[in-house]
Amino acid sequence: MISVLCVDDEEPHLALTKRYLEDNGDFTVDTAESGELALQKLKTANYDAVVSDYQIPGMDGIEFLKYVREHHGHIPFILFTGKGREEVVIQAFENGADFYLQKGGEPKSQYTELMHKIRSAVGRRQEKDALRESEQRYRMLVESNPDSVIILDLQGRIQFVNESVVRITQMREDEVLGRIFFDFPSPEESKLLMEKFEAVIKTKQPERYKGRLIIAGREFYHESVGVPILSDDGEVALVMIISHDITLQKKTEEALRQSEERYRAIFEHTGTAMVVIEEDTTIGFSNTGFWQLSGYTGEEIDGKKSWTEFVVKEDLERMLVQHRLRRETHEKALTHYEFRFLTRNGEVRTIFLTNSMISGTKKSIASLIDVTDRKLMESEIRSLNIVLEQRVKDRTEALMKANEGLEEEIAQRLDAEGKLRASYDEKVMLLKEVHHRVKNNLQIIASLLNLQSRYITDEPTLAAIKESQNRVRAMALVHEKLYRSEDISHISLNDYIRFLGTGLFQFYDAKSRGIRFSLDIRDVDVDINAAIPLGLIMNELISNSLKYAFPEERKGEVFISVKKEGHTLTILFKDDGIGIPGDLDWTNTPSLGLRLVTSLVDQMNGTIDLDRSSGTAFMMVLHEKEPSV
C-alpha cells in the first residue's frame, strides 16, 4: 500500500480525493485542512507521498513544499491546485516538486492521472533509495577491499579510487580524480597498460597484467585485472582496474635471488677450496678451488665422489667420527682441525679444515686451506727463531749496558736543568727587583720635582716642572707594570695607555670639563724597549690635547687606536678639538713636547703624519726592535 497525505482547505475536495484513491488503487489516504495540521501529521507519521493544494490556511503550497524538503528530505511531493499561473509552476519545480497537476476537468481522468503521478513519483523515489543503498553497499565493498580499485571512463580519466589507492600512493583522492590514468606510469609501462585497456573495451572481456609502476617517486609491483562495466545497452561504459600489490613478494624474490647469487659468488671466490658434503659423505657441490687442489674436474666430483677418497688412510677414522658426531650433536664436533689430503697424482698435502652444518639440513660445508708450504715455513722459522733468540739475548745485554750509561747521563742533565731553572728564577727575581727600584727612583724624582715646584713662582718654569713630572710618571708606570706582570718582558699596551691617560685626565681635570677618553687597542703587547718611548709619545700628545684642544669649556673626545702586525705598530691619535693652527710648523716647534714626539718616532724607525681636517689626528707607523736570535 502507498500511504498519502492530502492537504487542502476544501473539505469536499479532500473527501472526494480520499475516496477515489482508496477505492480505485492500492492507497491509504490521510487528510489535513491546513498547513499547520499537515506539519503535525508529518512529525508523527511516515508517508510515501504528499499531495497539496497551493492555497491552504497558514501558508501557501510553495512554503509548505520548502518545509517538507528541508525537514523530510526527498519524499515525493505533488502540487494539486486550481491555480495555473506560470510563476507558481516554476516556483514549484525550482523548490523540488515532483509533479504539478491542475484541478478541473473530468474527475475520473483527473484522478486517474493523479494516481499515475503518485505511483510514478513513489516508484522513482524507491528506485533512487534502492540505487543509493546499492551504491553504498558497493562502495563499502570496494573501500574495504585491500586491493587497489580504480574506475576509468573510456578516455582513461580516473572516475573513482578506493582508500587502498590513496594509502599506497600517498596521494589525496582529489589529486587523482579526473586525471588521465596513463600519465602516471613510465612511457613503456603506459603503452602496455593502454593496450590492455583497449583490449578490454574491444573484447568486453577481462584482461590480466603484471607490471611495475612508479607513482609519486615510489615503486610498485602489481598484478592487475581490467574488468569492463557494461551499460544497459550492453556496451562498455567504464573499465574497473583491480590491482593486487605484489611489491613485497617481488622484493622478497629479488632478495632471495641476490642472496643466492651472492652465496654462489662467495662460494666460488672465497680464495679457498670449498665443498658441500651430504650425510652419506658424498660431495654434493665443489668449487674451482677444490678442483685445483684435488686435480679433478667438477663433473668428476659433484654427486659422484666421497670426501673419504681424498683422505690418507691414517687420518680417515678420526674424520669419520667427526662426520657422524657433527650430524648427531654438532656442538661436540670439532670445527677446525688438520688432516692429510691425497690428490689425484698421489701427492699428500697438509690441509687446515673448517667444517660446519648448514642450518635445517644434514649437509655440511667445508673450507680447505692448503698449509703444506706454511708447515715447511714454520719448521724453518723455528730453526731461525733459535738463532734469533740468541742474537736478541746478546743484543739485550748490550742495550742494558748502554741504557745504564743513558740513565746516568739523563740524571746529570736533570741536575743541570734544575740548576739552570734555579738560576733563571733568581734572575727573574733580580730583574723584577731592578724594575721595582727603577720605579721607586723615578717616583722619588717625581716627588723631588713636586717639592721643587712649591718654591717656583714663574708659571712657564712651573709648567715645565709639571710636564717633566708627567714624563717621569709615564716611564715609572712601565717599570711598575713589568714588576707586577707574570711576563717580565712584555706589558699590555691597552692597560698601560688606559692607566696613563686616566692619570693625565685627572691631572688636567678633563672629565669635569666634558672631555671623553676612548681606546681601541685589542691584544697588543709590547716589550720595554717600545713601551717607554710609546708611553712618552702618548703622554705628550694627550697632554697637548688636554691643554690646547678644548679651550673655553669646549667638550670633545680624545681617541687612540693601536693595531699590531708582526713587529709593526699602526697608531691613530686624534681629538675633535680646535686643531693645530695651519701656520704652525709642528715638526719644528720651540716647545719640547712635539719635538720629543718626533724624536721618539725616529728612535723607533717610524713615520708620523698630521691631519688637520677635523680637529687633530696623528697617524704613526712604529717598529719594535726585533729580538736577537
- Mean pLDDT of residues grouped by 10 in the chain (629 residues)? 88 85 84 87 88 84 86 85 74 84 78 84 80 62 66 87 75 82 80 86 87 70 84 85 79 75 71 89 90 92 92 92 85 88 93 88 89 85 86 86 84 79 54 51 62 69 67 62 60 84 85 92 85 84 88 90 92 92 80 82 91 91 76
Side-chain-facing half-sphere of 286: CA atoms under 13 Å? 24
| Beta-bridge partners for 100 | 79
Distance, CA of 629 to CA of 625 (rounded, Å): 12
Q: Is there a contact between 543 and 518 (Cβ–Cβ < 8 Å)?
A: no
The grid cell for 78 is 505533488
Q: Is there a contact between 471 and 500 (Cβ–Cβ < 8 Å)?
A: no
Q: For 172-191, b where at least 16 C-beta lie within 10 A, e where not — what string? A: eeeebeeeebeebbeeebbe
Q: Quick check: helix, strand or coil at residue 277?
A: strand
| For helices 528-544 and 493-507, angle between their N-to-C axes, nearest 10 degrees | 30
Q: Which of these, 225, 236, 177, 180, lies nearest to 203 by C-alpha position?
A: 236
User: For residue 357, what pLDDT is reported?
Assistant: 87
Residue-level length of the chain: 629
Listing DSSP states for 387-449 in one string gives: HHHHHHHHHHHHHHHHHHHHHHHHHHHHHHHHHHHHHHHHHHHHHHHHHHHHHHHHHHHHHHH
User: For residue 629, what pLDDT is reported?
Assistant: 47
pTM of this structure: 0.34
Distance, CA of 293 to CA of 342 (rounded, Å): 9
| Beta-bridge partners for 350 | 340
User: For residue 478, what pLDDT is reported?
Assistant: 60
Distance, CA of 114 to CA of 241 (rounded, Å): 46
Distance, CA of 369 to CA of 84 (rounded, Å): 110
Q: Is there a contact between 305 and 285 (Cβ–Cβ < 8 Å)?
A: no
